[in-house]
Structure 1
Amino acid sequence: MKWTNEEINLLKEKYGTMKLKDLIGKFFPYRSIDSVSGKAGSLGLRNHDGKKQKLWTSQEEKILKEIYGTMKLEEMVKLYFQHRSIESLSNKARQLGLRDSNKNHQKIWTKNEEQILKRVYGKIKVEEILKRYFPDRTIHSIYYKATKLGLKGKTNYNVDYFEVIDGEEKAYWLGFIYADGWITDTSNGYELGIELNIDDYKHLLKFYKAIDMKNKIPMKRERNNPSGSKKIKMCSIKIGSKKTYDDLINKGIKKNKSKTIEFPDEKIVPQHLMKHFIRGLIDGDGNYTHWYDSDNDRYITRVKLTTGSKSFAYKFSEYINTSVFINSKIWKDRGAYNVVVGNKNEAVNFMKWIYKEQTICLDRKKVDVDKILEFYRK
């Protein structure tokens, strides 16, 4: 199908602002990944591999000076410099004259400083500790030193939230993390993270409310746009707790999970809560689409979930086919597996099933579903 000028302009505007599968699901549901990526290449639009290097800020340099040599470069990238490469960190460290050894240039903590930290850590906010007692250090340095000293801060959320999946919200958020979250276990501690486009900021607030988070809001930041245009506004949450980390491991979440994660059984997600888990999955890595196919004079309606795990895709498809009695098919595209409900009537029935008696969802995808269901009610 030939690309129209309107489509090309839309691709130029949106390419690089979101995941490719989300871009296709939202703006080009009738085109394949090969078609969209091929057109982007012919237009000279740049993906993540071709993005320009962002200039280092003074704050970033300060953080690098504090932590360089205290952990592996891979850990630094994951924890503090997600938008940079290992090579970028290594080059900047050389420019700053930093050495990757125990005798690096970071300021050594004195015995008096350690005593102060032991006395106040966990009693007042870390930001306040930084301001009152350690204005020449970074907040990351304080967290790291506290970890080394075995200090524990106040728990500002329900760390036991994922211990047992016994309600709609827990099942939903577990599914969302399966799709769009990550966990890490490094020398700097344990972490659960989620990063979304700034348009979904309110969704992260819903998560904080669910886990009873106190005195903290999601972070906002900008990152380079791979297409070279204006920067992308993002929002994210990062929370650290060994208890939460262990519970998520027990619920099937893995580090570097994209290609190895497995579809959960009833011991993890009870049967009566599975549709809420699946709604979380699709809100994270799926879409609901509806468009007019002018070539065949018909409307096409689909539900799609994309995953990098072959095993997950086939077990999810089997569950839909045998437990929900809705037919789904699988196709592989550029290393990803797409589970698709492509029959119009079955796609509509799936949407009705997944949203029946729900109280938690990603608002913008619920709007898409409401429009589709309203179309078929007319």
Structure 2
Amino acid sequence: MKKTNCAWCGKEIFTNHLKERNYCKECYGFANAVRNGTYIKQVKAELKEITWNKDIAYLIGVIATDGTLRRNRPQIKITSKSKRFLTDLLYKIIIEFTGRDQNVNEVTAKFQEKEYTHYQLQFTSTPFYEFCLRIGLEPKKTYTLNKLAIPDEYFSDFLRGVIDGDGNYNLDKRRKTTSIRIYSGSEDFLKWIDAKCIKLFGVSGAKFHKSSNELGEKYILVYHSFHDVVNILARMYSDYHVCYEDKKEAIIDILNDLENLKQKYAAPSRIGQFVKCAYGFCENKFVAKANDHFYCSINCGDKQRKYPNKERLMVTCARHDCQQEFLQTTANNKYCSEHLSYKKSI
């Protein structure tokens, strides 16, 4: 056995046969890929251990929706229609722990006699691959993906990566509505995301839809409530490091006014809650169907708008021989409950 150094990473190795260039087991694949014409260059040392940070959480979110882990090989592939998303954003995150400079590949696929062009960023990293396995990502995860071990402090970055990977913001300026949509082949994964959003962001919850086409089935998570949208965006974009600017552009008007909106929608969601009518003279309670559902009926809402300064008062019964105090239920109520019949008789 003769001692030498790996020509790729510089690590000390032992070999029986010295060659002009000798490689360790981990780097042999890179050298072989270069010989076959692939551009890969080690520009700095690869990290031996992956730890949580905002960029890693974002990348995990993208991989969960738009990435693939190769079976029996520590290789990960991310696919996107946007080359700029891969080169200007994800590449800069990946090179920090792999230390390797490499190209993004253009791939043309044919489906039903039509050609589709997309881009792939494929990289190898044993520490990162093992990190993905530990938190719950696995090969062939499209229909089996479930909850992941994401720390609460990094969930907003993870969620931003999920939406940038396979989600969108649907802004309808004519109707003045906004929704957040996330697509996945796994319903369990989407339900886990919704449960985490309810727990961490105080949202009322999403609706789920299912669609099918020639490519297979997929599930759609949708946040329709503007209260939910504002609270999710506030958490995702208040202290973020990276994001896909093209998708951010769709909600730029909301983000520019986020501070005012956060104050307006800071209260917990009312949807589905048993609440009291906001009209001062009404005792009714009802289940709120929206965050701006304040009145049990149109009649109560009209009265409140007509008499905005009317308040319920503690008054004394108007009957001459009764001194009982009671809380008015209507503006014209001058008699306590025991003497309402007296009012009708006069």
Do they superpose with TM above 0.5?
Answer: yes
Give the paired residue count.
234
Specify which structure has the higher proportion of strand: 2
Counterpart of 1:316 in structure 2 is: 193
Structure 2 residues without counterparts, runs of 5 or longer:
1-15, 262-346
Matched, 1:341 2:223: yes
Structure 2 distance, partners of 1:289, 1:179, is 18
1:158 and 2:46 matched? yes
8 Å CA contact 1:205–1:218 kept in 2: the answer is no
Give the distance between the partners of 2:192 and 2:210, measured in 1 at CA. Answer: 15
Paired letter, 2:133: I
Q: Deviations over 1:63-90 (max 9, x none)?
A: xxxxxxxxxxxxxxxxxxxxxxxxxxxx
* Aligned counterparts of 1:129 and 1:352: Cα–Cα separation in 2: 45
Measure how far apart 1:207 and its partner are: 2.3
Name the SS of the counterpart of 2:130 in structure 1.
helix
Instruction: Quote the residue 1:245 is aligned against.
Output: 129
- The reply on whether 1:193 has 2:81 as its aligned counterpart is no
Q: Tell me how large the CA RMSD over aligned residues is.
A: 3.5
1:285 to 161, 166, 172: 166
Question: How many angstroms apart in 1 are the aligned matches of 2:245 and 2:209?
Answer: 28
Contact 1:286 1:303 in 2 (8 A): yes
**Alignment TM-score, normalising by the size of structure 2:** 0.58
1:120 to 16, 19, 22: 22
**Separation (CA, whole Å) in 2 of partners of 1:244 and 1:370:** 33
Indicate if the aligned counterparts of 2:89 and 2:242 stay in contact, CA closer than 8 A.
no
One-letter amino acid matched to 1:192: I
Map 1:263-274; keep pairs closer than 5 Å. Answer: 263-264=147-148, 268-274=149-155
> 2:94 matched to 1:208?
yes
Q: Which has the higher helix share?
A: 1
- Residues 91-130 of structure 1 aligned to structure 2 (within 5 Å): 115=17, 119-121=21-23, 126=31, 130=35
> How is 1:80-91 mapped onto 2 (pairs within 5 angstroms)?
none
Q: In the alignment, is the contact (CA less than 8 A) between 2:186 and 2:219 conserved in 1?
A: yes
Describe the SS at the equivalent of 1:211: helix
| In 2: Cα distance, 1:119 partner to 1:333 partner | 54
Moved more, 250-259 or 172-181: 172-181
* Contact 1:121–1:129, Cα closer than 8 Å, also in 2: no
How far apart, in 1, do the equivalents of 2:96 and 2:42 lie? Answer: 18
Task: Report the structure number with the largest CA radius of gyration.
Answer: 2
| 1:220 has 2:105 as partner | yes
* Cα distance in 1 between the residues matched to 2:180 and 2:248: 13
Cα offset for 1:120?
A: 2.5
How many Å separate the matches in 1 of 2:224 and 2:202? 14
* TM-score where L is the length of structure 1: 0.54
Q: Deviations over 1:139-186 (max 9, x none)?
A: 69xxxxxxxxxxxx9796534453x32x21121111221111111134
Q: Which amino acid aligns with 1:291?
A: D
Contact 2:157 2:236 in 1 (8 A): yes
What is the aligned-residue identity percentage?
A: 19
In structure 2, distance between residues paired with 1:129 and 1:287: 37
Contact 1:175 1:281 in 2 (8 A): yes
Q: Distance in 2 between matches of 1:258 and 1:156?
A: 33
The reply to whether residue 299 of structure 1 matches residue 181 of structure 2 is no
Give the secondary-structure state (helix, strand or coil) at the position aligned to 2:150: coil
Q: Deviations over 1:117-142 (max 9, x none)?
A: 68433599727973xxxxxxx469xx
Q: Whole-Å Cα distance in 2 between the matches of residues 252 and 261 of structure 1? A: 8
Gaps of 5+ in 1: 1-113, 131-137, 141-152
Structure 2 Cα separation of the partners of residues 283 and 161 of structure 1 = 26
Pairwise CA distance, 1:238 = 1.9
Which residue does the alignment assign to 1:183? 69
Tell me whether 234-243 or 121-130 shows the greater mean CA deviation.
Answer: 121-130
Q: Which amino acid aligns with 2:171?
A: H
Cα distance change on mapping 1:348 and 1:129 into 2, 3 Å: closer
Secondary structure at 2:202 match in 1: coil
Aligned equivalents of 2:140, 2:90: Cα separation in 1: 22
Relative contact order: is structure 1 or structure 2 higher (C-alpha 8 Å, sep ≥ 6)? 1
Q: Give the Cα separation in 2 of the matches to 1:261 and 1:155.
A: 34
Q: Any conservation in 2 of the 1:204–1:236 contact (CA below 8 Å)?
A: no
Does the CA contact (< 8 Å) of 1:290 and 1:372 recur in 2? no
Q: CA deviation at 1:355?
A: 0.7
